[in-house]
Amino acid sequence: MIVRGIFLGLLTLALGACNWIGNGYSHVVDRPQADVVAALEDLDISAQPGNPGTDPSLSGGVKPDIRLEKAADHMTWWVMAGDKVATTMTATFEQLDGGKRTRVTTSVQRGNASDDVVSPAFRSTGITSGLFSMAVEGELNKLTDGPRASAEDCQKLVEEWRMSGIEDAPRDRPENLTQAIGEGARNAIKLQAMADKLPPRRLPDGRRRRVQAGDA
C-alpha cells in the first residue's frame, strides 16, 4: 500500500536540520528570534501523542499545571504538581547571521515532585524530552511553511518512498517504555519533516494546510 510504503520509508530518513543532543535536540530556523518566540508561545505539550498530563488518575488525582516563563534568550515551561516542580522544559535561542536565523535547543530537567503526583509523561526526562522536542518541532514547521510543490515533485517523492525497500529492514525491539516513547517521538518528527516536503492544500476559507502522510 502507498501509505504503508510512505510511512515505513519515512522512518529511515535523517531529520534534516535537527540534531539530537543529550536529552534534547537542536534546530536552526531561517527566522529571527522574535518570530520563533511568537511561534512557540502557543505550544501545547498536552496535544502530543497520549495527551500527556490530561488524566489526573495517573498522578494521584493531581493534574499538572504548566506555566510559561520567557527570558531574553530562552523560554521555559514549568510543569507543576501542586506546589512542587515535576519538570522544566526549556527552549534556548541563539541568534545567527546577524539575527536572521535562530538556533533552537531544547532541554528538560526533572523537578522535586515525587512520582506519585507526577503524570507518567513527566516522570522521565527521556519521555518528556521526546514529547517536548516533537511539540517544538511542530511549531517551527508551521513557522517555516514552504511554497507549493508541483504535482510531479510530489509524485516523485511518493515513488522514492515506495521504492525505499524499508519493509525488509530489521528493527530492534525497544528495551523499555522510555526507549519506546523516545523512538516514537523521534520517528514522529522524521515523519513531519518529510511531510513538509509535500504541497499544502487550501481550505475553503483560503488557509493552507499541509498534506500528511496518511492523506495519500
Question: What confidence tens digit (pLDDT) does each residue in 169-194 have?
Answer: 445 666 766 666 666 666 666 666 55
> Over 60: is that where the pLDDT of 155 sits?
yes
Nearest to 127 by CA among 16, 5, 23: 23
Structure confidence at residue 33 (pLDDT): 97
Average pLDDT, integer, range 87-116: 96
φ/ψ (deg, to 5) at 213? -55, -35
Whole-number Å distance between alpha carbons of 111 and 101: 32
State the cell numbers at 87. 519538570
What mean pLDDT is reported for the chain? 75
Structure confidence at residue 61 (pLDDT): 87
DSSP string of 6-47?
Answer: HHHHHTTS--TTEEEETTEEEEEESS-HHHHHHHHTT--GGG
Choose the weakest-confidence range: 74-78, 128-132, 155-159.
155-159
Per mean pLDDT, which of 9-13, 132-136, 205-209 is the most reliable? Answer: 132-136
Whole-number Å distance between alpha carbons of 123 and 100: 37
Is the whole-model pTM more than 0.85? Answer: no
pLDDT level of residue 79 (50, 70, 90 thresholds): very high
Structure confidence at residue 161 (pLDDT): 64
Domain count within the chain:
1
Question: What confidence tens digit (pLDDT) does each residue in 48-77 have?
Answer: 877 788 888 878 888 889 999 999 999 999
Whole-number Å distance between alpha carbons of 50 and 188: 13
Structure confidence at residue 183 (pLDDT): 67
Residue, of 47 and 193, whose pLDDT is higher: 47
Angle of helix 125-143 versus helix 177-195 axis, rounded to 10: 10
Domain hosting 186: range is: 2-215
